[in-house]
Amino acid sequence: MRDLFTSFKDNCGFGLLASIDNTPSHRNLEDAITSLSRMMHRGAVAADGKTGDGSGLLLSIPKKFFAKSAKKENITLPDVYAVAMVFSKNEKDFDVIKEVCENNDLKCIYTREVPVNQDALGEQALASLPTIKQVFVAPNSIMGAKRFDALVYLSRKEIEAKIPEDRNFYIPSFSTSVVSYKGLVMPTHIKEFYQDLRNKSFEISFCLFHQRFSTNTLPEWRLAQPFRAIAHNGEINSVTANRFNVAAKMEALKSDVFSDEEMKRLVPIIQSQMSDSASLDNFFEFLRINGMDFFKAARSILPAPWQNAPHMDAKLRAFYEYASTCFEPWDGPAAVSMTDGRYIGCVLDRNGLRPSKYIITTDNRLLISSEYGVLETPEDEILERGRLQSGEMMGVDLKYGKVLKNSDINDYLKNMDPYDKWLNDNMIYLQEHMDDPFSDVSIPEKTEMEARQRYFNITLEVIEQVFEPMVKEGKEATASMGDDSPLAAFSTKQRNFTDFFKQKFAQVTNPPIDPIREKVVMSLNTGFGEIRNILTDDAEHAKRLKTVSPILSLEKLELLKAFGNEKDPKYESGYKARTYETTFGSDLRMSLATLIEEIISDVKNEGIRTVILDDRALNAKTKVMPMLMVVGRLNQALLEAGERHLVSIIAATGEVYDSHMAACMLGFGVAGIYPHMLYQTVAMIEHRKDKDVNLAPILKKVRKSINAGLLKIMSKMGIATVSSYRNSKLFDVIGLSEEIVTECFSGAYGLLSGLGYEDIEERITKAHSDAYATETQNRIFPLNIGGFYKYLSGQEFHDYSPATVHAIHKLSKSGKKEDFAHLKELVDGRDKKFIRDFFALKSDKEAISVDKVEPLSEIFKRFSTAAMSLGSISPEAHECLAEAMNTIGGKSNSGEGGEDEVRFGTIKNSKIKQIASGRFGVTPEYLVSAEELQIKVAQGAKPGEGGQLPGHKVSPLIARLRHTMPGVTLISPPPHHDIYSIEDLAQLIFDLKQINPKAKIAVKLVSTAGVGTIAAGVAKAYADKIIISGADGGTGAAPIGSIKFAGNPWELGLIEAHNALKANNLRGQVEVETDGGLKTGLDVVKAAIFGAESYAFGTGALTVVGCKILRICHLNRCSVGIATQEEKLREHYEGTVERVINYFTLLAEDVREILASLGYSSLEEIIGKNDLLEVIDDAFAKKFSFENLLYKLDGDNTCQVESNEPYDKNEYEQEILAELMPAIKNPNDPIVLEKKISNLNRSFGTRISGEIAKYYGDKGLPEGTICLKLKGTTGQSLGAFLSPGVSIQVNGAGNDYIGKGMSGGRIIITSQKSGADFSLGGNTCLYGATGGKLYINGQVGERFGVRNSGAIAIVEGTGDHPCEYMTGGAVVILGKTGVNFGAGMTGGVAFVYDVEHEFVENINQELVEARRIDTEDTDIERYYLKKLLKDYYNETKSAQAKKILDNFRVEIRNFWVVRPKDMKGPLKIEEGE
Amino acid sequence: MLRFFDLERIDAKKRDVVERNKDFEEIYEVFKPVKGSEQSERCIQCGDPYCHNGCPLHNLIPHWLKATANNDLEFAFDLSNETSPFPEVMGRICPHDRLCEGACTLNDGHGAITIGSVETFVNEEGFKKGLKPKFSQNKIGKKVAIIGAGPAGLSAATFLLREGVDVEIFDKQNRAGGLLTYGIPGFKLDKHVVARRVKLLEEAGAVFHQNVEIGRDKTFDELSKDFDAVFVGVGAVAGRKSGLTGEDASNAYVAMEFLVDIQKKLFDEPREKNIEVKEKSVVVIGGGDTAMDCVRTSLREKAKSVKCLYRRDAHNMPGSRKEYINAKEEGVDFEFYVSPKSLVTNDKGEVIAVEMVKTKLGEADSSGRQRVEEIPGSEYRVEADVVIFALGFDNVNYPFFASNGIETDKWGGVLVDENYQTTQPGIYAGGDCHRGADLVVTAARDGRDAAKAMVKMLSK
């Protein structure tokens, strides 16, 4: 775990600049540096104010400059040479370089010390500053340019291999075409640092530039970007899989460029210890150097989503499908700029999750960057202003001086080879060879079947909770109230092997995907067959057996066997199959090793290509090895043996019957799964109901549920395709021994090293003997009953057992100490169920008297209730918790969903206001009413997932608070659409600090390995508080698989975050809070010792007000009136303020007593003091390694500052606010200001709105009170949370997040260059807006109007996913839209102008429908639209609007009105639709 | 499920009070299928199934409620028989309002699920449809002797037979069933219901030896010699005396004497006491379920008047609330806050009245229950022709305990370990003879768990 304290993730600002005709100039360099420095806010700055996380430039070789400087040394550079840029701290490294080069027929011409000015560096950067030198190298004999490039590359790889351990040695670039100038320096100082860059003769024709934001504060010189060929903004979520797959692919390689012997010297291709971006760079560079086409390489590893894009050109789809036989996507948010000297380009990930904007200027230059306006190019010099859309690429052919747009590149790619023919001839779709899928499941005889069900832990509960919803609804069941059962490792009951595995999920540095609403990017497309040489192309490559899901039917399994059976006419040697039984008698360790050895030998010697692992031979005498263990071990062993690329692994297993289990298998390498126990059990149940049942439709539904579950698990980590998920190992393994993790699950993170092969075998043996015991055969009901999901007497432990619930009820009513003592007995005495139970308190001090301990009031300050929205719980419960917490001086949390403004300023005001991904009810007044603003990045119950409030729960009150209409279903997306990366989070924090400068900004994360890294990043993004939520907590409704299998206990996350913050010297900047099943004083004290300063209570607090852990929160039928909006049930609410106070008083008293017994007088003194804990002396405890929880670093243990002040003080707006104050004080005195603005002025209008909301609430000022006329390109978040009465008129352009959360007022953007061909706004505009108007006389980016619930907006074109999750307001689009229009749109209305008749294809038909409006029935719509357009025209003078208005009678025919299917009848404008 | 929201709790229908007082037939009607499944649908299926937890047998209540709601009778029948030896009996006589239904999460204003009635329904309907609990076909070749054919013994027999162990049951009464047959009146538990279970056990291979008392008709030694294990389930049937002057009067009885005597009369079996209450004034002292059985039996035996005297109030009565209500409906006269001081007898030694004193509730004791205090000077007299004491039961100290090394505690309860094994290896015990007078359901659990322990020991 210790390595986690210092690990990192990074995001950034990035871009490229190129002279399209490849003309070098010094101005190019200067402009690139200017562009980069104007995105500083996208990077991070260390405390010294100088050390950044790194920035850099990858430049075309400045031939003139290098020639000049060589001349000074009396050296004449040849025409052809390469330059190595070298970081080193050891002079001997250069000898190695020389030696290797010479061996490779290269000669080193001379070595140049790169002049640097150390004054430009911060302290930290200076401390690690290497010597920076350039080595000039030329061919030693006559060779072609391609060969020279190859030898340069080979030499670099060899040099790297020779100096592997030295982290100071690094070669930023070694190339004949580019040179890298990068380092731990801020963009503003890069020119000062690298003196070369000041030289006017330093002329370049193109460059990539990059500014890094690392989550840690231990940046390294070598990690600065660009790398050798790319600059990447984003995160490769599937990088573990990609790295594994690259290693596997290497085995099949034959290169035209390198000999086999040279190839051996090249490996590993992926440099270890580097970032995801560096790995991507390594692979891309490798492909290029081996002669793969620039665009083909780019699109093979970063493909557009083709699997579910029926409207894509068939030939282009064929290219992608062909490419997929060799390449899986490097999946995740990515804007990647890349160059090889000949071409330069930029590609955007399949879901458009990073911004990438371009301009082409009159002087024939292309600039691509994260933001508009970085160069302040005058409007009349802009020829084109646009942006890349999801999955698009653009580039420049530098040789021929031609810009290549997405369609040019696609045309080029699809015609390179006859891909469609190759596929037609060779690719085999299993479906085509099947007559009757799911006609057979071959159920074993009853007694055996029942024993197997017991063995595989298929209990009555599993049937009811897991199988039934699949059969009935075709989806995974929903549950609520979190997971209160022990980790598999600590359990004394039969548990599945996959229970040891906890799913990873995206938080902050990368976004999860919505697999339902953004299904268009998702795919489970699966292929079987060997991976061939990826460096060549021919028809053979297309040989694959294909299917659309890795979950196989028996028929498909048999087909795979048939294709692999020599005696079958379908046989092909590339699919040669063999089945391996995974049974064993005893000695699991040996049996596993033997089986693996056998398989490897068969693959090597007998040409086996399809390995089918089968556990169906289980019987009374033989046990089976855990399938996941076999799979993991085999996957690794095949790679080590160099055979992985040849083999497809299939698991025919009883161990898969939910999506988590399936995901585990895929994550560790299987290609296909035949879940026999699932099918057979379902068949058995259905047969009992109806002997003649047709199983096919039922089993298809079951498979569909598993598929949906898989998509959900993948999307949780932001992975879109199963091919990228396979081998990704995205799990934390908790409680298995290091040996098992290393041998079988390397690549996954092992925590709490514990049970070894012998322990697992012991558990298997017991499960086996229990399953086949004679007793069980005599039962009337043969299965075990369960108890894993719900409490059952004598079964799995649940911390909220009936006894505990009764105890909490009793003590909260009585307020008696003896009743609390009973709870303590139950909880503190539960014995080794949770991690904290394995620690006992010890003290270095004598006990003191309780009177000496800080008073209750001090302890109460640290208590809060966890976020539970009004909507999820009733107003009675919500207000009760607020009043109680305010009374004692703690805090209550509004949850997401707004709060009634009558509560603001009263005892019922929630001090914590939450901002979650739905942004429901997030208005200026809501935000200014808080003392703490909590950004919920993830929640314990379902990290990485969104939520849904079904329409029937949306009462008039809830609808009012959420600014929607009653009865409309409200969807919270999985990601915050304005946080796809760490710099985005920094931006949101900045927004919130503007609207409410007094509030502390908290960020809620969920415990997982790596959360420390995230926490450090969050601290660097200027959050004031970080919450580490336990996956064991979580009251919300969630899919049962997510409740059980995603995220870790809080103890692990807390200790990691606490230490990572310390390791990065950030702990003193932020407060740390935790939650997750805390109940007694001992829980609180232990949480403090592990490093938490404050503590939140969710389920516990609900239990105090009467919750009985019914786990039906999601059904609106809560019988105790808490999790329901039904009036009739709310009458049964019996919680009181007094009960809450009783509980927290007893709890705080308990804390005081424990503190006294330890000899400490305050919690502050024990926070992070983990020498107060020791592991209990217990035989079972000794199996586990707990020392990481007791690891201690020096440094602050608690927050030392009042506020974590952002670097950007926003003086610009502060000054404007001062000028506006008279108008705010006296709205009868309207004011108009004219100002210049640039992209550095972020969140403009927000500080002003915060000030207005403070006095006037959401009513704001009368319209027209403040008018701000701005010239220039604004920064991100223009007009975020804008208050009524403020009008912002921009002449120029805006960037991302315009009008985010706006509540009123107007934002108008016009430009000299306007209309449908020009982009004037960025991505995710109007996110969560509740009112106001936004007019943009141009195009905007992706996800326009996402989650809009009240704003009226008019634009002239949008990117993909427009109007996503919209619940209200009106959007008019006078031009083209991207795909997936109206996904998850449950309210509001959109008008789309569509002359080309293309629009209908772009609609996501799930919830909305488009209708014509030139009928009598649509009278209202027609005139409403006209009214809007008139207003729009008045404000913008849009030519398009004028054209339409002038011919309205004709043009109306070109409009569609889009509304949710549920909304019938004419538009109800007055009612807020 | 979750229909609690729109469906009321409905109890099983009772027969008209005038009609039902005329005979000893059960007063509750079994649910009709629609009703049974509707009432089951009210269940929340909660995350902490309090009913299951409140049930001493830990019956799979939510699970068979769901099956019932789904009209899957066979499944419900199987699930309910899995954990319980005679669910149709427990559905009738368990004090549900104190156990499962009392614990039911809906019992806080919504109305608990009618668990007992559904349980009865599931099994009666199941029997009607020909369903039967399953017993092992494969004998393991061991046999166990069971002393006492009451709830504990029958339960042990059930679970032994299910595991393929042979059982022989020795019982001193004429019919098997113990308390179920002789102690609980027919209007609560039809005697055919008990007989049906006994028959099922016989079909499964159980051998019943009725009218055999160990120590009298057969020695304990013979049992331990002939069998691989012995289970003692002899109950606690000694009626608790009041210790009042006059309690030995000829027409003063303890409850069990009275109930057994009447039941034997109904069976037409030889009786020991020949108690007649017809046209007499009956006074029953006590407030538990047994007291209710006595008063209601007296009514059906056509007593002139029936009075129940209890020293606390209705709210504090230890028995099941519905039994009190039934008794009241049927015409029993209750007097609360009164306590007997002595029995007044005539010169023939017959009771003619009970000397009573009024009481009130005083301070709470350590368990939180308020103590009863007598109110000085409030004495009065209640006329009575028959007085029945229903004050609880004590253990019977059978001589074979001591002579075979079976130790007891100070109250006479047989000591057992966590496996229900007595201090004598191979001899097991459970039910009232171990824990003192308790519920049928706890005896059933003891029998079940002891059987499981015996099987484990026997199959080693």
Contacts of B81 in chain A (CB under 8 A): 780
Q: What would the two tokens of residue B345 be?
A: 């007898």
Interface of B with A in 69-98 (CB under 8 A): 72, 78-79, 81-82
Which residue in the list A12, A101, A326, A1107 is annotated as catalytic? Answer: A12
Asked if B320 and B98 count as a contact pair (C-beta separation under 8 A), the reply is yes
Identity (one letter) of the amino acid at B123?
N
A1156-1189 pLDDT, tens per residue? 999 999 999 999 999 999 999 999 999 999 998 9
Select from A775, A795, A1035, A1118 the residue whose CB has the most chain B CBs within 10 Å, as the one to mutate to test that interface: A775
Contacts of B158 in chain A (CB under 8 A): none
Across the interface, do A1110 and B162 touch by the CB < 8 Å criterion? no
For residues B405, B407, B413, B419, the Cα torsion angle rounded to the nearest 10 degrees is -90
Asked if A666 and A725 count as a contact pair (C-beta separation under 8 A), the reply is yes
Closest-CA distance of chain A to residue B161, Å: 9
pLDDT tens over chain B, length 460 residues: 899 999 999 999 999 999 999 999 999 999 999 999 999 999 999 999 999 999 999 999 999 999 999 999 999 999 999 999 999 999 999 999 989 999 999 998 999 999 999 999 999 999 999 999 999 888 999 999 999 999 999 999 999 999 999 999 999 999 999 999 999 999 999 999 999 999 999 999 999 999 999 988 999 999 999 999 999 999 988 888 788 888 888 899 999 999 999 999 999 999 988 999 999 999 999 999 999 999 999 999 999 999 999 999 888 888 888 899 999 999 999 999 999 999 999 988 899 999 999 999 888 877 777 888 999 999 999 999 999 999 888 888 888 898 889 999 988 899 999 999 999 999 999 999 999 889 999 999 999 999 999 999 998 7
* A12 part of the active site: yes
* Residue in B with minimal Cα distance to A1111: B47
pLDDT band, very low/low/confident/very high, at A951 (cuts 50, 70, 90): confident
- Give bridge partners of residue A397 from the DSSP assignment: A343, A402
Say whether pLDDT at A889 is over 70: yes
CA distances from A1009 to A498, A1004, B424 (A): 17, 15, 56
* Residue in B with minimal Cα distance to A798: B48
Place of tokens 């008039």: A956
More confident residue, A689 or A18: A18
The share of chain A scoring above pLDDT 70, in percent, equals 99
Across the interface, do B44 and A785 touch by the CB < 8 Å criterion? no
B24-72 pLDDT, tens per residue? 999 999 999 999 999 999 999 999 999 999 999 999 999 999 999 999 9
| Nearest CB neighbour to B46, from listed A780, A785, A1110 | A1110
What pLDDT does residue A1177 have? 96
Alpha helices in A910-1031, H assignment, sequence order: 924-928, 956-961, 982-995, 1011-1020
Across the interface, do A481 and B47 touch by the CB < 8 Å criterion? yes
What pLDDT does residue A532 have? 94
What pLDDT does residue A1462 have? 85
CA distances from A1362 to A41, A949, A1324 (A): 27, 22, 9
Contacts of A779 in chain B (CB under 8 A): 82, 162
CA distances from B393 to A11, A532, B248 (A): 79, 85, 17
CA angle (A272, A276, A282) in 5-degree steps: 65
What pLDDT does residue A136 have? 97
Across the interface, do A1112 and B44 touch by the CB < 8 Å criterion? yes
Asked if B101 and B115 count as a contact pair (C-beta separation under 8 A), the reply is yes
Q: What are the backbone angles phi and psi of residue A864, rounded to the nearest 5°?
A: -145, 165
For residues B363, B365, B368, B373, the Cα torsion angle rounded to the nearest 10 degrees is -40
Across the interface, do A1120 and B108 touch by the CB < 8 Å criterion? yes
Q: What are the backbone angles phi and psi of residue A1384, rounded to the nearest 5°?
A: 70, 15
A202-249 pLDDT, tens per residue? 999 999 999 988 877 777 888 899 999 999 999 999 999 999 999 999
Closest-CA distance of chain B to residue A794, Å: 9
Across the interface, do A1108 and B109 touch by the CB < 8 Å criterion? no
Interface predicted TM-score of the whole assembly (ipTM), two decimals: 0.91
Across the interface, do B66 and A794 touch by the CB < 8 Å criterion? no
Select from B2, B46, B48 the residue whose CB has the most chain A CBs within 10 Å, as the one to mutate to test that interface: B48
Identity (one letter) of the amino acid at A354?
R
Q: State chain A's mean pLDDT as an integer.
A: 94
Residues 6+ apart with CB under 8 A from A74: none
> What span, in angstroms and rounded, lies between the C-alpha atoms of A403 and A395?
6
B397-422 pLDDT, tens per residue? 888 898 889 999 988 899 999 999 99
Across the interface, do B49 and A1111 touch by the CB < 8 Å criterion? no
Say whether pLDDT at A1416 is over 80: no
Q: What would the two tokens of residue A1208 be?
A: 């950007």
A1120-1132 pLDDT, tens per residue? 999 998 999 999 9
Half-sphere exposure of A251 (CA within 13 A, CB side): 17
Nearest CA-CA partner of A635 in A669, A596, A658, A607: A669
In what helix (H) or strand (E) does residue A1292 lie, and over which residues does it extend? Answer: strand A1286-1293
Per-residue pLDDT averaged across A536-543, rounded? 95
> What span, in angstroms and rounded, lies between the C-alpha atoms of A995 and A1281?
7
3 state SS of A1163: helix
Contacts of B105 in chain A (CB under 8 A): 1108, 1110, 1119
CB atoms within 10 A of CB A127: 10
Contacts of A785 in chain B (CB under 8 A): 60, 63
A34-83 pLDDT, tens per residue? 999 998 888 777 666 677 788 999 999 999 999 999 999 999 999 999 99
Across the interface, do B162 and A778 touch by the CB < 8 Å criterion? yes
3 state SS of A61: coil
